[in-house]
Structure 1
Amino acid sequence: MSTVMTSFGHARALLTLGVPLIGGHLAQFAIQATDTIMLGWYDVEALAAVVLAGSLFFTIFIMGSGFAFAVMPMVAAASENDDGDRQIRRVTRMGIWISLLYVLLALPPLLLAEPILLAIGQEPKLAADAGKYLEIAGWGVLPALGVMVLKSYLAALERAHVVLWVTLAAAVVNAGVNYLLIFGSFGFPELGIRGAAIASLTVHVISFVGLVIYAIRSFPQHALFQRFWRPDWSAFAQVFRLGWPIGLTNLSEVGLFVFSALMVGWLGTIPLAAHGIAMQCASATFLVHLGLSNAVTIRAGKALGRRDFDHLRRGGLVAVGLSMIFACATVAAFLAWPEQLLSLFIDPDDPRKPEILVLGTGLMLMAALFQLADGAQVMAHGLLRGIQDARVPMIISAASYWPIGLGVGYFFGFHTEFGAMGIWTGLVIGLIVAGILLMYRFWARSLPALAARG
């Protein structure tokens, strides 16, 4: 009975923290899905171009967000110590510093996207439209990375509900600006893909300003922005050491999906549109696992700060169990209603809809196959980041996603008749390998080693 009650307590605590984080991720997804749906109604070519542009933006953004993810377990661990306020201020401030420096490297490829996409074999019209989008939306990487650092900071302090409400507000703003500027409603100019880009940039700026105001008012003791210009090289090094392998891990995972999109793009516009829609559906369910993963990172970080390894072990088991339960429900939904889910993203009158649905239905079946593996690997990452173990997981991820996942995907996609389905086969295999190896890393290596050191 004691074990059952303890597990129930862990589940309740994880869900109390995790549900707002899941909601925040889903609200962020709603922003992206709104762009996809509205542009799909506007023009299929515009949809395909934004799939490409969004893939490039997200690849660059997610690598830089490794430093924001590093802030989360460090703030969580510091909050359990007597001198926590000072350490919280130091690592959060330097997380913003590093993110700002990263933007200097991130902007050029975003603002010069068209020649990059042409160089990797994309169709000229798609590359030109994606470039138009990123000429505007690319500037959003600056506030977007700032938002990520502040979200990590607030979530680690168990203020995840604020992250949720700010993201929900941003989603509403995005939908409204999209409606006005993509279609030219209520007398506004019809800007199409550029209108979607303006909406995206607006959302990132509003979100950053909102979180800055909240952080200053709610945690004056942290003084995050007082004498912000002063460097703290020791904290800078701490965040950088944990953040760069997380960033490269993120890049390995996202790169698997982005390069898969590029390979599908070589097959044509209709396969790319079907791929983008199926990936949107899979991404929405993945965000539930990601929210739970963030919650377990925070709770693992707090347990690490207290050196409470029994709590860490039990909490980890419960978190993985919750993730697997949701994965099973997702598999059932993808198998039961593939066409209904795909149809949400396509203009009913589009003459290419039947072709997209046929291909997209097959891709949804593949997405169902990797739900368990995807949930397992992201939960393992959450646990490992909570105990600040990032370098070996980075190597495991890179090996699983690239030589294995992309290698298999390329072979089946272009050397067999499977096409896009073959590329997705590589995604499935890469995620399975990563999930197995990362779980082994946490349960058989990292956690026992920490417990032995006390």
Structure 2
Amino acid sequence: MTKGGHLRAVSLLGFPLVGGHVAQYAIGMTDSLMLGWYGAEALAAVTLAGSYFFVFFLMGAGFAFAVMPLVAAAAGAGEERQIRRATRMGLWLSLLYAVAAMPVLLFSECILLALGQNPEVAGPASAYLQLAGWGLFPALLVMVLKSYLAALERTQIVLWITILAAVVNGLVNYALIFGNWGAPELGIAGAAYASIATQSVSLLTVGAYALWVLPEHELLKNFHRPDWEMFFRVFKLGMPIGLTNLSEVSLFAASAMMMGWLGTIPLAAHGVAMTLSGLTFMVHLGLSNAATIRAGNAYGRRDRAHMALGARVVILLSLAMALLGSAAFLLVPDPLISLFLDPMDPNKPEILIVGASLLAMAALFQLADGMQVIALGLLRGVQDTNWPMVIAALSYWAIGVPASYLFGFTFGWGGVGVWSGLVLGLCFAGVFLMSRFWRHSILLTEEKPAA
């Protein structure tokens, strides 16, 4: 296949995934937007709660991400039974993980206080998590089913289902946060109820589609029966992915905790800047998923040349998107930040000043963030997850977190210093993960995948 052919294939596969991730992210961004209009304190609380929740959500999503390369490789090799087995055990593992994670969501206030958070922020954040935490069950199951459909290159339906979910979330948020349309005014609790409703609608919709359109896979037939060989295979692949996700997301959660030490205004500004940079990251994540699927198919066929050319194309697409995102953050920071703030909020001028400096730092890490997530997608496609886990842990926790504290507090750079540590950790991860793929993992493609 030529470069043009790869570009068309990645675009047709990747951009619906990008749209799906953006729509999924819009759910959390809607919470930030509407709670920002509700008040700076509510925005700070949901920023803290969101960072805390996503630490556990993205770790559990490792099993869903493991389903994607397994299903893609099975589809490439024409092994339909393996598709069903991998998806079922991904659902099993996601449910078991959600049960294990619930206590830390239900009893989050004491943990947040122990981490040095302001009680005025930790209390509302915990109240949000005690409700929204139940959405972890449908959210993880949705991730598995979306990975299953995406690996079969049914990305258009993934996009439309996620758009539906985002619309539902916006409407329920508008009703319950502010008390519109005769609903009670619940503030931050309203956002939590909206998140649960959204994830539940997503699960019902994506589950109905999978069972209706792909009945030959019989995903729920004898669902209660264990398949221990595939269970441990998904676990062996998914746990390192989950720990890799944990390393990265906990770096950002740690940064939120540090910004909380600086005060409510820096934390609110951090929430806005992180929401905007997270939106651009969804583009790279969608391309990364496309890289996983394309690399997984090539791995199933043992076609190294096809994989190498496809990898170069997706890297160039990610680079172009990173440059566009960086330009927006540097050229129009104030209008972007103002979207999240009540025009009459007396704290708005301070939040704009802090937020603009943080967006300038976000512009710096766009390239590194894109590089590391694309590399992870390619590595997952060839089912190489153990060394990437080690690289991520060292980059984020041995470099990123200490650097954030050093620059932010020891050197006294404040929020800009905390974000400088993020940039440094992401740069190390991007360089070493990309090196791992090109120098080692792509060479595995000519070997027959494990049965």
- The question of a shared fold, defined as TM-score above 0.5 by the shorter chain, is answered with yes
Bigger drift between 240-249 and 160-169 goes to 160-169
Hey, what's the Cα distance between the residues in 1 that align with 2:36 and 2:322? 28
2:193 paired residue among 185, 192, 198 = 198
Q: How does 1:8-47 map to 2 (within 5 A)?
A: 8-47=4-43
State the 1:146 CA deviation.
0.2
Matched, 1:420 2:415: yes
Hey, what's the Cα distance between the residues in 2 that align with 1:171 and 1:325? 27
Describe the SS at the equivalent of 1:79.
Answer: helix
State the 1:18 CA deviation.
0.5
State the 1:449 CA deviation.
4.4
Letter in 1 for 2:220: F
Q: How does 1:333-348 map to 2 (within 5 A)?
A: 333-348=328-343
CA displacement, residues 155-207 of structure 1 (integer Å, 9 cap, x when unaligned):
00111111111111111111111111110112211110111110000001110
Hey, what's the Cα distance between the residues in 2 that align with 1:76 and 1:361? 41
Bigger drift between 330-339 and 291-300 goes to 330-339
Structure 1, gaps ≥5 residues long: none
1:325 paired residue among 320, 329, 333 = 320
Matched, 1:110 2:112: no
Hey, what's the Cα distance between the residues in 1 that align with 2:76 and 2:446? 18
Q: What's the counterpart of residue 313 of structure 1? A: 308
Q: What's the counterpart of residue 250 of structure 1? A: 245
Q: What's the counterpart of residue 52 of structure 1? A: 48
1:391 paired residue among 386, 394, 397 = 386
Q: What's the counterpart of residue 64 of structure 1? A: 60
Letter in 2 for 1:180: A
Letter in 2 for 1:190: E
State the 1:453 CA deviation.
7.8
Hey, what's the Cα distance between the residues in 2 that align with 1:445 and 1:204? 39
Q: What's the counterpart of residue 286 of structure 1? A: 281
Q: What's the counterpart of residue 149 of structure 1? A: 144
Hey, what's the Cα distance between the residues in 2 that align with 1:196 and 1:103? 21
Matched, 1:119 2:114: yes
Matched, 1:354 2:349: yes
Contact 2:128 2:188 in 1 (8 A): yes
Contact 2:372 2:426 in 1 (8 A): yes
Letter in 1 for 2:393: A
Bigger drift between 140-149 and 109-118 goes to 109-118
Hey, what's the Cα distance between the residues in 1 that align with 2:301 and 2:111? 48
Q: How does 1:67-78 map to 2 (within 5 A)?
A: 67-78=63-74
Bigger drift between 240-249 and 100-109 goes to 100-109
State the 1:326 CA deviation.
1.1
1:298 paired residue among 285, 293, 298 = 293
Q: 1:438 to 1:320 in 2, by over 3 A?
A: same
Hey, what's the Cα distance between the residues in 1 that align with 2:286 and 2:294? 12
State the 1:302 CA deviation.
0.4
Letter in 2 for 1:142: F
Hey, what's the Cα distance between the residues in 2 that align with 1:176 and 1:429? 39
Describe the SS at the equivalent of 2:225.
Answer: coil
CA displacement, residues 9-64 of structure 1 (integer Å, 9 cap, x when unaligned):
10110010001100000001111111001000011101111111111111101000
Letter in 1 for 2:336: L
Hey, what's the Cα distance between the residues in 1 that align with 2:349 and 2:39? 16
1:447 paired residue among 442, 445, 450 = 442
1:101 paired residue among 79, 96, 99 = 96
Hey, what's the Cα distance between the residues in 2 that align with 1:111 and 1:167? 27
Contact 2:302 2:448 in 1 (8 A): no
Contact 2:298 2:445 in 1 (8 A): no
Describe the SS at the equivalent of 1:349.
Answer: coil
Describe the SS at the equivalent of 1:370.
Answer: helix
Q: What's the counterpart of residue 210 of structure 1? A: 205
Structure 2, gaps ≥5 residues long: none
Hey, what's the Cα distance between the residues in 2 that align with 1:261 and 1:297? 30
Q: How does 1:150-189 map to 2 (within 5 A)?
A: 150-189=145-184
State the 1:451 CA deviation.
3.9
Describe the SS at the equivalent of 1:80.
Answer: helix
Contact 2:64 2:90 in 1 (8 A): yes
Q: How does 1:203-242 map to 2 (within 5 A)?
A: 203-242=198-237
Q: 1:338 to 1:243 in 2, by over 3 A?
A: same
Describe the SS at the equivalent of 2:344.
Answer: coil
Letter in 2 for 1:74: L
State the 1:263 CA deviation.
0.6
Q: 1:178 to 1:453 in 2, by over 3 A?
A: closer
Hey, what's the Cα distance between the residues in 1 that align with 2:126 and 2:418? 25
State the 1:327 CA deviation.
0.9
Hey, what's the Cα distance between the residues in 2 that align with 1:341 and 1:335? 11
Hey, what's the Cα distance between the residues in 2 that align with 1:340 and 1:172? 23
Q: 1:49 to 1:383 in 2, by over 3 A?
A: same
Hey, what's the Cα distance between the residues in 1 that align with 2:432 and 2:287? 20
Hey, what's the Cα distance between the residues in 2 that align with 1:327 and 1:115? 38
CA displacement, residues 271-295 of structure 1 (integer Å, 9 cap, x when unaligned):
0000110011100001100000000
Hey, what's the Cα distance between the residues in 2 that align with 1:110 and 1:200? 15
